Structure 1
């Protein structure tokens, strides 16, 4: 996609080496319409962005959104005062949806690419954001090295993931993924030199039907039906970790 502003274009020519194969994300890849409903219901109060802004202001920043999906967060970041916003997404159908979303928005662009090989120049962004894109810690080191490469000195990288040690959603997650080791994940991020902000956000929807549809793309069928049998209403408290590192 061509740049939409007169600002610096951080893209580089296509690499000659084979592009890394992305990890499949069945929820958004297979159900983008339902995932849109989920995005609308996650953190309506904007606690995640507020915590990010307290560590690195958005105003005047060049921002990278890794694994931007359908580009849901790109307009939001632009509205917070970023000079430029670029979303990177490996799945072509989602790239097309993201391009449609940001069409005509100055300073906002979407590129196809993988976290392990970002199609960006060195030291070209001030803020990097990845929401549930580095979910399990160990194994994402190539992507973290790429974040270090593209961030300017003084820039900050943010990774948002689940905190299964707290909240109702965390309890559901732990029950569904008993092999997940939050202590090992915490140690991984500490070894990489990252810090953490603990947040509890709302995961709430306009109707019970929306809640049920989202739950069914986030949990296996048996687990989802069990949760729906025990939980009334259309929302729940949801603990997340905001991992961050300043470079």
Structure 2
């Protein structure tokens, strides 16, 4: 049985190592800067929130605490099942098996879209953007969180490991489509060195991972992201 729907962009980190990716989710943004910045733009209290590429559903309960309704969409069958298990008992949350290019939601049914390190990486994601325009109500807001590869320790690792990545082209792509950017310093903070090393190994090839691990001490990694957002 195919594990992911056709059209899904593979995410080797979480698809291959969901348990380790849980460690990464727990370590990301210990000060809550991403959520605070999102709320400054558009609070989701009482809203219908859509999490595109929700993975194992890590963020769904947090949205559900104040949202009227939360929908997670995930193309990987096993991750979607894990997300459903995570939110079992939360009456205002549902998880659907689907892809960003064909969201299983009616027109004009969503107030806030959240996509974190999922599908919307710049050029090539146009079909998904069309879908956002379809499902968002007038006055809705779309948030896309992605790496800021121009700075931070993690950004330096990212540039070295993905030599063909052009952050300038990505910025031009989003700006041309009416998205605004807020650059945020968040970071990783782990409780154990072994967890940090394990997460680095699911994010990068073995050669790069071992080099980065050897050159970095401690339990924290400074990490910058871009919060892209647009009102509809």
1:67-102 C-alpha deviation (Å, 9 max, x unpaired) = 0000000001112x1000000000100011001100
Q: Do the aligned partners of residues 241 and 222 (structure 1) sit closer, same or farther apart at CA in structure 2, a change above 3 Å counting?
A: same
Partner of 2:46: 60
Distance 1:243 1:181 in 2: 17
Q: Report 1:73-92 matches (<5 A).
A: 73-79=59-65, 81-92=66-77
Partner of 1:5: none
Q: Secondary structure at the match of 2:139?
A: strand
1:198 aligns with 2:198: no
Q: Do the aligned partners of residues 20 and 116 (structure 1) sit closer, same or farther apart at CA in structure 2, a change above 3 Å counting?
A: farther
Is the CA contact 1:134–1:161 (under 8 Å) kept in the aligned structure 2?
A: no
Alignment length, in residue pairs? 228
- 1:224 Cα offset (Å): 0.5
Match for residue 162 of structure 1 among 144, 147, 169 = 147
Question: What's the RMSD between the two structures over aligned residues?
Answer: 0.9
Q: Report 1:35-54 matches (<5 A).
A: 35-54=21-40
Distance 1:34 1:225 in 2: 17
Partner of 1:213: 198
Is the CA contact 2:9–2:119 (under 8 Å) kept in the aligned structure 1?
A: no
Q: Secondary structure at the match of 2:64?
A: helix
Q: Secondary structure at the match of 2:83?
A: helix
- 1:132 Cα offset (Å): 0.7
- 1:235 Cα offset (Å): 1.4
Match for residue 72 of structure 1 among 54, 58, 62 = 58
TM (norm. structure 1) is 0.90
Is the CA contact 1:132–1:161 (under 8 Å) kept in the aligned structure 2?
A: yes
- 1:26 Cα offset (Å): 1.1
Distance 2:100 2:120 in 1: 13
1:133 aligns with 2:118: yes
Distance 1:178 1:72 in 2: 30
Partner of 1:103: 88
In structure 2, list runs of 5 or more residues that go unmatched. none
Partner of 2:221: 236
Q: Secondary structure at the match of 1:70?
A: coil
Q: Report 1:116-155 matches (<5 A).
A: 116-155=101-140
Distance 2:145 2:121 in 1: 11
- 1:204 Cα offset (Å): 1.3
1:202-240 C-alpha deviation (Å, 9 max, x unpaired) = 211111000000000001101010011110012111000
1:95-129 C-alpha deviation (Å, 9 max, x unpaired) = 11001100010100100000000000001111000
Ranges of 4+ aligned residues in structure 1 off by more than 6 Å? none
In structure 1, list runs of 5 or more residues that go unmatched. 1-18
